Amino acid sequence: MTTVALPSTAEAVQAIVAPLSPGELAWRRFRKHRMAMAGLVTLVLLSLYVSLGGPLLSQGYCTPIGRTVRGEAWANCNDTSLKLQPPSAQHVFGTDVIGRDIFARTIYGGQISLLIGGAAALMAVIVGTLAGVVAAYYGGWVDSLLMRFTEAMLNIPTLFLLIVTAKFFGGRLPSVNFFGRELTGSVLVIILIIGGTSWMYLARLVRANVLSLREMDYVLAAQALGVSNTRIIFAHLLPNTLAPIIVSTTLGVANAILSEAYVSFLGLGVQPPTASWGNMLESSYKYLETAPWLWFFPGTLVLLTVLSVNFVGDGLRDAFDPHSSRHL
């Protein structure tokens, strides 16, 4: 009589459960990264703070115009009779050297800092991804031309270029209206310079990845079937290159925010009356001991944002790594 071996309970359950998709596997790895999850929660709270804090929380009586104002008008209301007031019930973060409410200015300054970080990182990702994938896929003189240009761009000192261009062009460009916000021309200059000088490392990463992918069987089969180059690039190559692109995007946001803070602290970044966390720090360095609330709140927000973005980027790097040591 032949004995049939029955599968164990664990084997039966494993046979029933559907295999996880790459996205689900990445999310499981990401959830195991505690610092990345803490960074993600912090970024969500900061985003709610700068997006909802303005219309819901920042309002007060502006003495110079004799009425209660809300939002950006409250952030720019300067009442010199209230200058350098410490945190209180009326001004929870205190006031600055000309009597403006720091709580309101951190909200609207945060919108500008995050806008600069996001827009510059998006610009760098678009340029770097296209340069890398085109150079790798077409090869030949196209690859040589794009890579020599990329290497030339790597030799340009970004911070020096940012300081020089912000100095000469920031105050000469007209202000623009962006979703109801009046932005000085210096904001556009900073976005263009940071984004235009931050794409080179991503281009080289994407190129290296696409060089290996273009020799895969599914790419060769698509070419043999007459599929257009554009479709092969956007439907087959780029989806398999998302891991370095996503990680580079998150880290690029942190670098852009820090770069804006550098030049604004030097007085060459975002120009008044537009507030940013960087130019708030610039106006506080003379009062490091006498009025610490001037630098503590915007400095803490910059620190939390940059740390959180870096933690999320670190978690995404591990999540998209198929050889990650983190257990599922």
Q: How many CB atoms are located within 10 Å of the residue 119 CB? A: 19
Token pair 């502006």 is at which residue?
A: 62
- Range with the poorest average pLDDT among 9-18, 39-48, 71-80, 254-263: 9-18
Tell me the angle at which helices 185-196 and 102-138 cross, rounded to the nearest 10 degrees: 40
Residue type, 272: P
How far apart, in whole angstroms, are the C-alpha atoms of residue 312 and residue 328? 18
**Per-residue pLDDT, 15:** 46
Q: Note the pLDDT tens digit of each residue in 214-230.
A: 888 888 888 888 888 88
- Give the tens place of pLDDT for each residue, 13-33: 454 555 666 667 777 888 888
The label of the residue with tokens 């410490």 reads 86
pTM reported for the whole predicted model: 0.81
3-state DSSP: the chain helix, strand, coil percent, rounded to 5?
A: 65, 5, 30
301 three-state secondary structure: helix
The per-residue pLDDT for range 110-134, each reduced to its tens digit, is 888 888 888 899 999 999 999 999 9
Q: Per-residue pLDDT tens for 289-327?
A: 888 888 899 889 989 999 999 899 888 888 876 555 555
Beta strand pairing call for 176-178 and 67-70? unpaired
Q: What domains, with CATH codes, occur in the chain?
A: 109-307 (1.10.3720.10)
Confidence of residue 187 (pLDDT cuts 50, 70, 90): confident
